[in-house]
Structure 1
Amino acid sequence: MANEDAHTLLDASAQNPPPQSSKLRMLMCEVGLQALLESSTDVRILCFQRLVRMIAYGQATLILTLYFSALGFSDERIGLFMSATLIGDVLISFFLTLFADALGRRRVLILGCAMMFTSGLIFAIFDNFWILLIAAIVGVISPNGNEVGPFRAVEESTLAHLVSAESRTDIFSWYALLGRIGSGLGTISCGTLVQVLQDRAGWSNVYAYRFIYVSYSSIALIKLYSSFKISDKCELPAFLERRKKRAEALDESLDENAIMLENMQSSEDELRDGAVQEEDGRLMRITRKSGLRSSIPSFSARSKKTLSILMPLFFLDSFGQGLVNNSWLTYYFNDKFGVKEASLGGIFLTGHIVATFGALIAASTAKRLGVVQTMIITHIPSSIILGLIPASSNLFLAIFLFAVRAGTNMMDTAPRQVFVSSIVLAEERTSVMGIMNVVRTLSTAFGPAITGAFAGQGRMWISFEIAMAMKLLYDVGILSYFLKEKLDRS
């Protein structure tokens, strides 16, 4: 009897959890953490990859302009380097994301990790400007702290494929949040490590900066290992079906070739055999060409119209972002206020911490106001604050404006990812998101060179004001075209 009573109490406790547990669960659901904890292993691996990748990007960005200055490169050449790097990244990312669904998403992620590892290693060894430029263009080096390479488009499309429409906002919020946390950890770890190597170990600036790129390559290896752990569930059904058919066709071809070889050995008509081989070779070449063409994705009329509107709008927003990217912001604080590496890491960590809370608020806000509305009401204040940063002659006020801008800017990220992934068909997501990321990267490529020219003349503040104007134009465009747009929640 006592055992029955005990079981009854346990069942009642399971059905009616304590108030504290219920409130905690409600809070976790509100900020989207519950959705992440209940997600699949693949989802958690992709979020983990975003975290560690942004640690590497955060480390490299903090010291990029300082590293090049230590090597004796001019401000104009630094700006040219960042622009050329982003243009090269555009070409590689466009190709890889366009064919990612046909080549296999996991393969593309693995290839990106290998490129990232190679680039970091070259930056750690060489000091020739042109060698570094080629390594950055062909490989994966983030010159501005933002996403480069094929990773983001493939990961976002895969996440939208793996999670339900109801959980998409939560997962994308944490995906963006972990990226921001990674950037913060990268900047603070880089600043602290460089300071320790310089002050305690007696390393020169150049060797301390090179050690950061060794860390960059090491993180690429961690990403590479985790990429092999991704399952076939991340691939589109069409890709898995094609792979299965290719495997079956290969088995049949091997059997047929064995039979053909046996017949050829016993045949006395060599001329006829040669003609047959030539005909088979022609057929194989035709098949390969048609297979390549079939890998190029096609877009629906709705997606074409959406792209024609979004591409110029995203171009404006990212052009403004490129003018005042994180590398130039570190240069701005160092040049105007004399802030050292360790303090620079602390400043950017503060921004990332504030952005963390912004991302959590964004998940809850988007559920209540809607994705597009959340994008706009957070992006407009962020744009205005950006234009106010150079007006401050006080370091603490500049840091305060920078932190507030980081928080409001982060609130726009996850809703925008959900917006793009939900406005096109599921089978078009990877290609469309890849194109949008290419547009954003291409537009950011022009800004650094312009800012380099302004910085060389002591007029870097002009870049902040142009950036604010471009971003506000983007907000007006989104409001005009997509405020009442119905999203595809499949």
Structure 2
Amino acid sequence: MIVPGIKQITWLYHEFGLSSLYDTGKDAWLIIFTRCLRMFAYGTNSLIIALFFNILKFSDFQIGLFMTLTLLGDVALSFFLTLVADKIGRRRILLAGAFLMVLSGATFALAENFYILLVAAVVGVISATGSEIGPFRAVEESTISHLTTPSTRSDVLAWYVTTAAIGTSIGTEVCGQLVQLLQSLGGWTLLDAYHTVFWIYSLTGAINMGLILLMSEKCEQHVQKTEEHYVLLETDSESEDEQMIPGGKSNQDDNLRSYKNTPRKAGVFAHISPESRGVMYKMCALFAMDSLGGGMSPWSLINYYLDLKFHVSSSTLGTIASVAFFISAMSTLFASPLARRIGLINTMVFTHLPASIATSLLPAPPTLAPTVGLLFFRSALANMDQAPRAAFVAAVVRPEERTAVMGVNSMLRTLAQSLGPSITGLLAGGNRFWLAFVVAGILKASYDGFLWQWSLKIKLHQYEK
């Protein structure tokens, strides 16, 4: 006898990727949980950091410059760490990043000087915009791609994105309510409350250090370092199933001798095959356009804009952001089922484009309620492209090159994003804050159009069995 409802429950279990998540194992669960906690910490930052700088009497230009320089510091740190992650060890890189979170959070909890805070943010890991920073994401997405198969990857990455949004949602709500609670206590100033939030950020980094130590050796990518490996990377542009090497082993020996005797240009990307490099350059150009728009309209600056325009309390801002992130978390659950039906690129473009248009329209409403409505609509769609995007990147490059390619891609996205806050800061200083959202939406919508056009020429999963 079949228990009533068991068929529907089983369908939901498979449809929303829980079966894929369970089958992938403990390491994937730990990666997803550590990211959820990290985004909880970033969520607390996104609500208060611009307000924290404002209460310290930093100018709008200084706030924008701070965020830009912080992101540039993240570019350098992430670029170096992701390129060497597979050699040093992915878990060690994640552990080092979590330790830098601890140091940066403690510095922000203790200091108020602009230059001390700037050094802590540039050298360490502090989320000045509320978005993902540091070497974490590229290494984690590469590790998840390594632990999964093409059939389960999109499901697991969808939960990776969903739980991150849940963490951010909880972080912003806890931050808003905590700041209000501490202010209501005798002897607590608003600045004291903000310092307490940064202690929470530091504590979260310490917890993540412990969780990373529980990850197993399965997370590591053991790349074969023989000369023959690089011969195949450089001389064989098609997969083994598509083209057999004539002449057998003797031909491979000839290729090896030719490879050794051929002068090669050393470079930062020399260890990435020409095929992957070509794809990487195009992806970086497209994703940089989207990231520049994102850098001009992060949640930290949206909160600041709402505070300036509508004079909203910290608790109300926290609730608005928390609901928005919760909506985002729920919507990303549907990204993987949608991608299975209409494809990775279609899911990316047709969910991201309406969100881009909503970004451009944010300054239009004259009152708070419709503005919040636009924010909620934007949040429902804006992050549905993240899991398909990571799965897309994993599907178009060689498995042993994913960490490096994802790291370079992340670095250039962050570099483009780092320009955004300064542009927005300049516009805000000239009483044209609203224009930043219009330009951001146009950039993000243009990215969608170019991505759609390029996707028609790309082949997926050609390097996987």
Same fold (TM over 0.5): yes
User: C-alpha deviations, 1:416-438, integer Å up to 9, x for none?
Assistant: 11111111010000000011111
- Alignment match of 1:161 (pick from 131, 146, 164): 146
Residue number in structure 1 paired with 2:437:
464
Instruction: Check whether the contact 2:223–2:400 (CA below 8 A) recurs between aligned residues.
Output: no
Residue number in structure 2 paired with 1:327:
300
Q: Distance in 2 between the 1:106 and 1:296 partners?
A: 23
SS in structure 2 at match of 1:147:
coil
SS in structure 1 at match of 2:202:
helix
Q: Between the two proteins, what is the percent identity of the paired residues?
A: 41
Q: Distance in 1 between the 2:377 and 2:150 partners?
A: 30
**Further displaced range: 303-312 or 121-130:** 303-312
- Alignment match of 1:211 (pick from 188, 196, 201): 196
User: C-alpha deviations, 1:76-130, integer Å up to 9, x for none?
Assistant: 1010000000001000000000000011001101111111110000000111100
Residue number in structure 1 paired with 2:376:
403
**Amino acid of the structure 1 residue aligned with 2:40:** I
Asked whether 1:318 is paired with 2:303, we answer no
**Amino acid of the structure 1 residue aligned with 2:284:** M
Q: Distance in 1 between the 2:366 and 2:354 partners?
A: 21
Residue number in structure 2 paired with 1:278:
none
How big is the shift at 1:223?
Answer: 0.4
SS in structure 1 at match of 2:5:
helix
- Superposed counterparts of 1:11-410, under 5 Å: 17-238=2-223, 298-410=271-383
Instruction: Check whether the contact 1:383–1:472 (CA below 8 A) recurs between aligned residues.
Output: yes
Q: How many equivalent residue pairs?
A: 424
User: C-alpha deviations, 1:30-69, integer Å up to 9, x for none?
Assistant: 1112222333110000000110000000001210011111
Q: Distance in 1 between the 2:322 and 2:276 partners?
A: 38
CA RMSD, Structure 1 to Structure 2 (Å)? 1.7
Task: Rate the CA distance shift 1:201–1:39 in 2: closer, same or farther, 3 A.
Answer: farther
**Amino acid of the structure 2 residue aligned with 1:76:** F
Residue number in structure 2 paired with 1:439:
412
How big is the shift at 1:356?
Answer: 1.9
- Alignment match of 1:477 (pick from 425, 440, 450): 450
Q: Distance in 2 between the 1:360 and 1:154 partners?
A: 22
Instruction: Check whether the contact 1:372–1:483 (CA below 8 A) recurs between aligned residues.
Output: no
Instruction: Check whether the contact 1:99–1:295 (CA below 8 A) recurs between aligned residues.
Output: no
Residue number in structure 2 paired with 1:245:
none
How big is the shift at 1:72?
Answer: 1.1
Q: Distance in 1 between the 2:224 and 2:303 partners?
A: 43
Q: Distance in 1 between the 2:312 and 2:18 partners?
A: 36
Task: Rate the CA distance shift 1:232–1:239 in 2: closer, same or farther, 3 A.
Answer: farther
**Further displaced range: 473-482 or 74-83:** 473-482
Residue number in structure 2 paired with 1:414:
387
Instruction: Check whether the contact 1:98–1:297 (CA below 8 A) recurs between aligned residues.
Output: no
Looking at CA atoms only, which structure, 1 or 2, has the larger radius of gyration?
1
SS in structure 1 at match of 2:127:
coil
Q: Distance in 2 between the 1:100 and 1:295 partners?
A: 14
SS in structure 1 at match of 2:334:
helix
Q: Distance in 1 between the 2:55 and 2:107 partners?
A: 17
**Amino acid of the structure 2 residue aligned with 1:380:** L
Q: Distance in 2 between the 1:199 and 1:69 partners?
A: 21
Q: Distance in 2 between the 1:297 and 1:359 partners?
A: 36
User: C-alpha deviations, 1:368-398, integer Å up to 9, x for none?
Assistant: 0000110011111010011111101121110
Instruction: Check whether the contact 1:79–1:448 (CA below 8 A) recurs between aligned residues.
Output: yes
**Amino acid of the structure 2 residue aligned with 1:158:** T
Q: Distance in 1 between the 2:402 and 2:34 partners?
A: 20
**Amino acid of the structure 1 residue aligned with 2:130:** G
**Amino acid of the structure 2 residue aligned with 1:300:** S
Q: Distance in 2 between the 1:60 and 1:93 partners?
A: 20
Q: Distance in 2 between the 1:38 and 1:426 partners?
A: 20
User: C-alpha deviations, 1:165-221, integer Å up to 9, x for none?
Assistant: 111110000000011001101100000000000013441111110000100000000
Q: Distance in 1 between the 2:164 and 2:181 partners?
A: 26
Runs of 5+ in structure 2 lacking a partner? Answer: 227-265
How big is the shift at 1:295?
Answer: 11
**Amino acid of the structure 1 residue aligned with 2:440:** A
Higher relative helix content: 1
Q: Distance in 1 between the 2:94 and 2:150 partners?
A: 24
Q: Distance in 1 between the 2:452 and 2:223 partners?
A: 36
User: C-alpha deviations, 1:441-478, integer Å up to 9, x for none?
Assistant: 11111110111111122211110111011111111111
How big is the shift at 1:239?
Answer: 7.8
Q: Distance in 2 between the 1:451 and 1:50 partners?
A: 28
Q: Distance in 1 between the 2:15 and 2:185 partners?
A: 46
User: C-alpha deviations, 1:225-269, integer Å up to 9, x for none?
Assistant: 01111110010123899xxxxxxxxxxxxxxxxxxxxxxxxxxxx
TM-score by length of structure 2 reads 0.89
Residue number in structure 2 paired with 1:279:
none
Q: Distance in 1 between the 2:331 and 2:390 partners?
A: 15
